[in-house]
Amino acid sequence: MQVTETWVQQCSRLATTIRSHCLRMTHHGKSGHVGSMLSMAEILAVLYERILRVDPARPKWPERDRLILSKGHGGGALYAVLAEHGFFPGEWLMTYYCDDGKLMGHISHHVPGVEFSTGSLGHGLPVAVGMAIAARYRSQKHKIYCIVSDGDINEGSTWEAIFFAAQHHLDNLMVILDYNRVQALGFAKDVLDLEPLTEKLTSSHWAVREVNGHEVLELEKALSGAPFEPGKPSWVTAHTIKGKGVSFMENTVACHYGSVNDEQLAQALNELGVH
């Protein structure tokens, strides 16, 4: 695969577009969780531009790669990238969180291109594991990707699935942690310190790589590398910044539930270079 500036620029541009959509959607819908959306914009951009084998014309194509967004509260960002990739009309985005809207606050499988509904944390990885088992049983070649958050890793069910996936050598499975280190009520290290996380995972027989979750090249290299080790599930810890791209949101607890007012929206879009 030849690395050119063009696709890197495309991914970066898409990430910015995702962010601008999320800000507008949450502003219009007067909803929260925008900080959790902004932190995974590059992850989603790289997945949809470079990694996932999916077809907007055939959202249920049996050979598609599966992506489960376990941090369903950040679903606005997934809606944004799906709209950009033509899974549904772009006009739907501004119905997010609105009466009789097309897009509910947490990610919904009733939307074309969304594999699985989440919203309560700790649900995504067990289901992804089940899909990986099913794919292996039928010798299918697609991969299963699951995006999790810090909060997801608080949940015991996620750890149940971590142990089980390794036990059964599910190397068709990749977890991507959007590690923005901020959760609903505080910084992760103060709420429930996950560190040393890589050691926990490698000692649980996962193959782990850590990347800067806002660097497109690093992300693409890691996300395209599954399995990192044959016979082991793969884990990418993407170090990210909550609220990334908007100065007054970055690395703040407030931006978990927060959205923006008119003035803040204008400032945020200006900082993103979007007009």
Partner 1 sequence: MRGVFNQALLEIAKNDDRIFMVLADIGYGEIEPFAEAFPDRFFNVGVAEQNMTGVACGIAMEGNIAITYSIANFPTLRCLEQIRNDACYHNVNVKIVIIGGGLAYGALGMSHQATEDIAIMRSLPNMVVVAPCDFAEAVAATHAMIEHSGPLYYRCGYKKEPDIHQQPIDFELGRAIQVRDGTDAAIIFTGTIGNQAAAAVEELEKDGIHCRLISMHTVKPLDKECVIAAAKETGAIITLEEHNVSGGLGGAVAEVLLDAGVQPKKFLRLAIPDRYVSLVGSHEWLLDRFGLSAPKIEASVRQLLAA
* Nearer residue to partner 1 within complex by CB, 170 or 216: 170
* Nearer residue to partner 1 within complex by CB, 54 or 268: 54
Q: Is 157 near partner 1 (CB under 8 A)?
A: yes
Span of 9-17, 22-30, 112-120, 195-203 interacting with partner 1 by CB under 8 A = 112-120
* Nearer residue to partner 1 within complex by CB, 120 or 224: 120
H/E run at residue 32: none
CB of 123 to partner 1, least distance (A): 6
d(CA 55, CA 48) in angstroms, rounded, equals 10
Residue 43 in contact with residue 119, Cβ under 8 Å? no
Residue of 134, 192, 254, 266 that binds partner 1 (CB under 8 A)? 134
Q: Measuring CA to CA, which residue among 241, 173, 243 is closest to residue 201?
A: 173
Span of 5-13, 50-58, 155-163, 187-195 interacting with partner 1 by CB under 8 A = 155-163
CB of 70 to partner 1, least distance (A): 10
* Nearer residue to partner 1 within complex by CB, 38 or 146: 146
CB of 117 to partner 1, least distance (A): 6
d(CA 260, CA 272) in angstroms, rounded, equals 14
Q: Is 137 near partner 1 (CB under 8 A)?
A: yes
* Nearer residue to partner 1 within complex by CB, 125 or 182: 125
Q: Measuring CA to CA, which residue among 261, 274, 266, 251 is closest to residue 35?
A: 251
Positions in 71-110 near partner 1 (CB under 8 A): 109
CB of 156 to partner 1, least distance (A): 7
d(CA 21, CA 92) in angstroms, rounded, equals 11
Residue 272 in contact with residue 245, Cβ under 8 Å? yes
Q: Exposed e or buried b for every residue in 88-119, given b needs 16+ CB within 10 A? A: beeebbbbbbeeeebbbbbbbeebebbbbbbe
d(CA 201, CA 122) in angstroms, rounded, equals 16
Q: Is 163 near partner 1 (CB under 8 A)?
A: yes
Q: Facing residues of 176 across strands?
A: 147, 236
Residues 6+ apart with CB under 8 A from 186: 253
Q: Phi, psi (5° rounding) for residue 9? A: -65, -40
Instruction: Return the SS3 of 109.
Output: coil
Binding string to partner 1 for residues 186 to 225, with x set by CB under 8 A, is what?
----------------------------------------
Q: How many binding residues for partner 1 (CB under 8 A)?
A: 28
Binding string to partner 1 for residues 114 to 133, with x set by CB under 8 A, is what?
--xxxxx-xx-xxxxxxxxx
Query: Site residues (CB under 8 A) for partner 1?
Result: 109, 116-120, 122-123, 125-135, 137-138, 156-157, 160-161, 163-164, 168
